[in-house]
Structures are given as C-alpha cells and as structure tokens.
C-alpha cells in the first residue's frame, strides 16, 4: 500500500485496500475492515476510469458489512447502488445477490 500511495496509483491502492478490508472482514474484525472499505470506496469514486465492476464489488463488500452490523438503511442504499452497477455491466449473479440481500433486510 505504501508504494501505491507514494507513486499515486489510486486504482491499485483502492484494490489493495479493499482486499485488506476483505481479510479483516473474513477474520471477524469489522472494526478494522470498515475504515479500509471506506477508503477503498473513496479511492474508487475519485478515479475517472474505475471499472464499474470493481466499484460494484467494493460497494458489495461494504453493504455486507453494514448489513451484518445492523445498519440497515446504509446497507440498503449500498445494495441498491451495487445492483445498479451489476446490471450496467451485465453481471446477473451480482444483480441476483443484491436483490436477495435487499429482500432480506428488515424494513
């Protein structure tokens, strides 16, 4: 991460930070994962040439975390955004997962 920060490769840094967050999340450390997901999303959103699928996958990860933390409104907004991006790039599995996750969220 330090090298990507030093050399200004924002997209590579976003990928790396997101994957670090995934490791934290899988290791049951959401308190460490969330700031990484937040940073990754900020980086992805700041890149003009970000592939929509990369952004959708990062949003998906944050939506999972928010849902698991009981932050329903934020999870819902993130799942809706991810669903839209998955539809845009024709990833039916992503659209289906987003729909299923949205349906399971409490009102």
Domain of residue 91, CATH code: 1.25.40.10
Residue with tokens 């990754």: 40
- Cα–Cα distance between 96 and 47 in angstroms, integer? 27
Q: What is the mean pLDDT of residues 76-91?
A: 97
Res. 10: pLDDT tops 90: no
Number of domains in the chain: 1
pLDDT tens, position by position, 20-74: 999 999 999 999 999 999 999 999 999 988 999 999 999 999 999 999 999 999 9
pTM of the full predicted structure? 0.91
| pLDDT for the residue numbered 94 | 97
The tokens of 14 are what? 């976003």
Are the CB atoms for 66 and 30 separated by under 8 Å? Answer: no
pLDDT tens, position by position, 42-55: 999 999 889 999 99
Residue 9 is part of which domain span? Answer: 2-104
- Cα–Cα distance between 7 and 87 in angstroms, integer? 33
């Amino acid at each position: 991460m330090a090298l990507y920060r030093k050399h200004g490769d924002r997209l590579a840094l976003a990928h790396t930070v997101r994957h670090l967050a995934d490791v934290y999340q899988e290791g049951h450390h959401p308190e460490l994962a969330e700031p990484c997901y937040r940073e990754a999303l900020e980086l992805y959103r700041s890149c003009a040439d970000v592939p929509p699928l990369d952004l959708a996958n990062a949003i998906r990860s944050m939506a999972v975390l928010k849902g698991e933390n009981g932050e329903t409104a934020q999870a819902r907004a993130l799942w809706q955004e991810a669903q839209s991006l998955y539809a845009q790039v024709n990833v039916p599995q992503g659209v289906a997962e987003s729909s299923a996750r949205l349906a399971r969220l409490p009102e």
